[in-house]
Chains A and B, each alone.
Chain A
Amino acid sequence: MRSLNGHLRLKSDFTLFKKMQLRDILTFSLRAATANRGRVLLMLLAMAIGVGSVVVFISLGDSARRYVINQFSSLGTDLLIVLPGRSETTGGPPPLLGETPRDLTLDDAMALYRARTVGRIAPIIAGSAPISVQGLEREMLVLGSTAELFEIRHLALSQGSFLPPGDPSRAESVCVIGLKGKKELFGSQPAIGKWLRIGDRRFRVIGILSSPGVSLGEDLGEIVIIPVAAAQSLFNTSSLFRILVEAKNTAVIEATRQSILETIRLRHEGEDDITVITQDAVLTTFNRIFKALTLSVTGIAAISLVVAGIMIMNVMLVAVSNRRAEIGLLKAVGASRGQILGLFLAESTILSSIGAVIGLILALAGIRLAGILFPQFPLQLAPWSPAIAIAVALISGIAFGVLPAHRAANLEPALALARR
């Protein structure tokens, strides 16, 4: 059965020399990789820490970015904010000494309706005032505005109705209160239709906001919203804190900005004494800042990946010198240079992948723990961070595995097998 001439398995063109099956490469390398424990564990730990910190740092930066952007986006990206006073960043000469900017008035705000691209407008007067109900008193933020604030700020009601639409100069004595404020003042009693006192004036509660939490640093839970004219007399001022302007759509934001500036300039005797902030500009800036921040922090974390890569190289170099006889034997039974190279590269890649997976698990656990410890800050896994971390781990596993694998592949079998 083992006759030689009948069994000439070797074709002259060597096409019979088949490739190893991928599954065999993986099992062989995995077992080889996990055969010597101590050093491998250390290396896995290094890779895990590297990958884990990259994922956590990317996620931290990304979550912070989202948090801020969300805060702004909750206002709507078609929003423009008009502030009294000229921002120095818009260029032009700074205001002269002693010159105070002209106030923004309710009439200024109403004048803005003339611009064709303007959708809604909400003039705002803000101040803090003592609110009391039957001897119970709380200091709260009081916002004077109009019915359109509801749509512009994407507010939601849990009960009742918002400020009635109509002439903004009418000072109706009604108010809408935040959910938390309602609980503090009225407890579990119904509040709709009840009266409360702001300063020395009485207001009837007509609506209760539902709880959107914090928006742009204003706690909407502890807030009282009253008609803007009522706020003017309450705080004894005619000047607005700001005007929120909603453009008809995001495409006309710049046009809206120009017509706002123009309208106010005409009303303020040719003076450009307001600042118009657009969501877009703010968002873009924040985006840039956070991306740069994330990138630099990630870069620092990536250094630990390089350290892990060097540890892989070390582990693999040791493996090659410990397993000289095995490498010689593999060659003696027919492994080619290329096959040995492949096996050792597979080994370092497997090691770094295992490390990467452990790192990912650590990162996920860490992020979850942070979520429990700091529930206010919505830390979440950046969607592409695992892919980046794994890719970097694989690349460093391969890159740092090349040298040891080459060393293994180039071993002379006779020498590797000799007991010298």
Chain B
Amino acid sequence: MIHLQHIERMFMVGEEEVHALRDVSMRAEAGEYIAIMGPSGSGKSSLLNILGLLDRPDSGSYELDGTLVSGLDEKQQAAIRMHKIGFVFQFFHLVPRLSAFENVALPLILSGVKPDERQTRVTAALASFGLGNRARHRPDQLSGGQRQRVAIARATIMQPSVILADEPTGNLDRSSGIEVAEILEELNRQGMTLIMVTHDPEMGKRSRRQILMVDGRIQ
């Protein structure tokens, strides 16, 4: 369960104040599938970053699964990102020198999971995303769709309760875009809350609920 109240986020660009988020409030129930839509620069990414604890709001409160996470310190927020949130990016953000396997294993490594447990969990995850024979490949040896699947495997290896995806298909061709959307939707069906930013109406229609943003506000 996600509950945002009166979130404000403002950036200074030179002398100018840019209000990326203005008094944003929203709820998302556990297991929901929400598309955030709106024109470029309307604050979709800013909202998702706040939800993913990648950015802090200037004001407002954020409650996640009964915890007031906006009041937590840096270390506690890192733990929330580790265990409760899976983030999927438009540009994948795989570590280029690491193999698919190692990229997926990163959260496990950071949380101190032992190598043999890592081996079984990562192998299973890669297999379930159809990447069983790509484990040793580095990102530059993978197609866009495969990269995004590796990124999704990494985002979900800790079994988070929420998946946040910022234009996950924005950098993919149509068919691999649909493939990625179907994977995310399958994860949603298994119980993870899915919040996906997209400016593609086709993609948006797939969700059960759409949130439209214009100029930093939810319409």
24 residue pairs A–B, Cβ–Cβ below 8 Å? A2-B190, A4-B30, A4-B65, A9-B83, A9-B84, A10-B83, A14-B79, A20-B109, A28-B109, A31-B98, A326-B93, A328-B54, A329-B95, A330-B106, A330-B110, A333-B82, A334-B78, A334-B79, A334-B82, A334-B111, A412-B55, A413-B49, A417-B89, A419-B91
Closest Cβ of chain B to A256, distance in Å, is 69
- In this complex, what residue of A is CB-closest to B112? A18
Contact B97 A325 (CB under 8 A): no
Q: Does A331 contact B (CB under 8 A)?
A: yes
Q: Does A3 contact B (CB under 8 A)?
A: yes
Q: Does A338 contact B (CB under 8 A)?
A: yes
Contact B75 A336 (CB under 8 A): yes
Query: Which B residues touch A24, using CB under 8 A?
Result: 109, 112
Query: Which A residues touch B192, using CB under 8 A?
Result: 2, 4
Q: Mark A28-65, 1 if CB is under 8 A from B, else 0.
A: 10011001000000000000000000000000000000
A334-B158, A337-B74, A413-B55 known; A17-B106 Cβ under 8 A = no
Most buried by B among A326, A338, A339: A326
Closest Cβ of chain A to B180, distance in Å, is 18
Q: Does B52 contact A (CB under 8 A)?
A: yes
CA distance A312 to B87 in the complex (A): 33
Q: Mark B102-116, 1 if CB is under 8 A from A, else 0.
A: 000011011111100
Contact A17 B82 (CB under 8 A): yes
- In this complex, what residue of B is CB-closest to A14? B79
Closest Cβ of chain B to A293, distance in Å, is 47
What is the size category of the interface that chain B forms with chain A? 35 or more
Q: Mark A272-310, 1 if CB is under 8 A from B, else 0.
A: 000000000000000000000000000000000000000
CA distance A10 to B52 in the complex (A): 16
Closest Cβ of chain A to B119, distance in Å, is 13
A2-B190, A17-B82, A332-B54 known; A337-B111 Cβ under 8 A = no
A4-B161, A10-B83, A331-B78 known; A339-B110 Cβ under 8 A = yes
Q: Mark A317-347, 1 if CB is under 8 A from B, else 0.
A: 0000000011011111111111100000000
Which among A20, A328, A414 is the interface contact of B110 at CB below 8 angstroms? A20
Contact A10 B80 (CB under 8 A): yes
Contact A334 B93 (CB under 8 A): no
Closest Cβ of chain A to B170, distance in Å, is 11
CA distance A221 to B154 in the complex (A): 78
- In this complex, what residue of A is CB-closest to B113? A18
Q: Does A97 contact B (CB under 8 A)?
A: no
Which among B31, B82, B93, B95 is the interface contact of A4 at CB below 8 angstroms? B31
CA distance A413 to B81 in the complex (A): 11
CA distance A412 to B82 in the complex (A): 16
Q: Does A96 contact B (CB under 8 A)?
A: no
Contact A333 B110 (CB under 8 A): yes
Contact A417 B54 (CB under 8 A): yes
CA distance A364 to B215 in the complex (A): 68
What is the size category of the interface that chain A forms with chain B? 35 or more
Closest Cβ of chain A to B71, distance in Å, is 13
CA distance A122 to B31 in the complex (A): 103
CA distance A98 to B155 in the complex (A): 100
- In this complex, what residue of A is CB-closest to B84? A10
Q: Does B159 contact A (CB under 8 A)?
A: yes
CA distance A331 to B67 in the complex (A): 20
CA distance A21 to B97 in the complex (A): 20
CA distance A1 to B30 in the complex (A): 15
Q: Does B191 contact A (CB under 8 A)?
A: yes
Among B58-91, those with CB < 8 Å from A are 65, 67, 74-76, 78-84, 87, 89, 91
- In this complex, what residue of A is CB-closest to B90? A419
Q: Does A114 contact B (CB under 8 A)?
A: no
Closest Cβ of chain A to B163, distance in Å, is 11
Most buried by B among A2, A5, A21: A2
- In this complex, what residue of B is CB-closest to A19? B112
- In this complex, what residue of A is CB-closest to B151? A329
Query: Which B residues touch A5, using CB under 8 A?
Result: 30
- In this complex, what residue of B is CB-closest to A17? B79
Closest Cβ of chain B to A234, distance in Å, is 83
Query: Which A residues touch B67, using CB under 8 A?
Result: 10, 12
CA distance A335 to B158 in the complex (A): 13
Closest Cβ of chain B to A310, distance in Å, is 26
CA distance A325 to B91 in the complex (A): 10
Q: Does A170 contact B (CB under 8 A)?
A: no
Contact B79 A3 (CB under 8 A): no
- In this complex, what residue of A is CB-closest to B155? A333
CA distance A412 to B57 in the complex (A): 13
Closest Cβ of chain A to B32, distance in Å, is 11
